[in-house]
Amino acid sequence: MQKNYNYKRRKLYLPEYGRHIQEMVDSLLLIDDRRERNRQARAVIAVMGNLNPLLRDTADFTHKLWDHLFIMSDFQLDVDSPYPRPTRQQLTTAPRRMVYSTGGITYKHYGKYVERMIRKLTMEKDACAVTRAVDNLARYMRTKSYEYNQEHPSNEVIIKDLRKMSDNEIQIDEIALTNIRNDYKQLHSGHIAKGQKGTKGTARQQQKNRNQHVARNFGNKNGGTRHNSSK
């Protein structure tokens, strides 16, 4: 018995249709009568459409099937198609290269919008508005720096980065930023401590509820009365 493995066969152009449909397309190339070839081609299109019956009657899907028919015939099939015939060049032409922004980001862990906001602040005339914005940016920068480095950034690092991104055009209140740093650490440590305390309290309450449930069941089994062992 001679075995016929797929890896020994010709490679399929569109494997999703299977080898049987590929053989049907190959048989179309052997039909000399053009009228019969057109009829058989429409029959093959109908079989291909049966693989996705929900999309078979849509115009775009029918166009796609005819394109696939020509692809599986290696663009050698000569039939009357209701749609323009695709060419090999259309499918093998590389797409046009997309143009990406060439502007680099100084600090990728902060993101480009932080730099844009700092540039906008250099043109702001209201000193109070600049101070509030810098405070909020410093908080955000601490958060992103911690996510990136997995350690709390020092106050000097935040001030240095702010000055570099603003080209030393923004007046920075170092004392205020130091207070923000302390608030930031207290906020995060407070959440952790509170979560741990809440976990212990919940476990203690659950154990208490279980003890009360066991005591009630024990009392019910003994007729709901308690007996004093000293009597």
Instruction: Give residue-wise pLDDT tens across range 51-90.
Output: 888 887 777 898 999 999 999 999 999 999 999 998 888 8
Tell whether 97 is covered by a domain: no
CA–CA distance, 174 with 135 (Å, rounded to integer) = 10
Q: Which range is most confident: 44-48, 161-165, 198-202?
A: 44-48
- pLDDT tens digit sequence for 21-58: 999 999 999 999 999 999 999 999 999 999 888 887 77
Q: 194 lies in a domain?
A: yes
Report if residue 125 sits inside a domain: yes
CA distance 151 to 143: 10
Quote the pLDDT of residue 217. 63
Q: How many domains does the chain have?
A: 2
Query: In terms of domains, do 116 and 196 share one?
Result: yes
**What's the pLDDT score for residue 221?**
53
Burial string for 56-92 (b: 16+ CB within 10 Å, else e) reads: eeeeeebebbbbbbbbbbeeebebebeeeebeeeeee
The verdict on residue 93 lying in a domain is: no
Residue 114 tokens read as 């932080």
Range of the domain at 66: 10-87
Query: Is 40 among the domain residues?
Result: yes
| Domain end (from 38, 70, 87) | 87
Q: What residues contact residue 177 under an 8 Å CB cut-off, 6+ apart? A: 134, 135, 138, 155, 158, 159
Q: How many CB atoms lie within 10 A of CB 46?
A: 11
Mean pLDDT of the chain: 79
Based on the domain organization, do 60 and 121 belong to the same domain?
A: no
Backbone angles phi, psi at 197, to 5 degrees: -65, -40
Last-in-domain residue among 87, 121, 144:
87
Query: Does 100 have pLDDT greater than 50?
Result: yes
Structure tokens at 109: 């862990």
Residue 162 forms part of a structural domain: yes
Whole-angstrom Cα distance, residue 68 to residue 37?
A: 17
Average pLDDT over residues 196-212: 61
Instruction: Tell how far CA 145 is from the center of its chain.
Output: 22
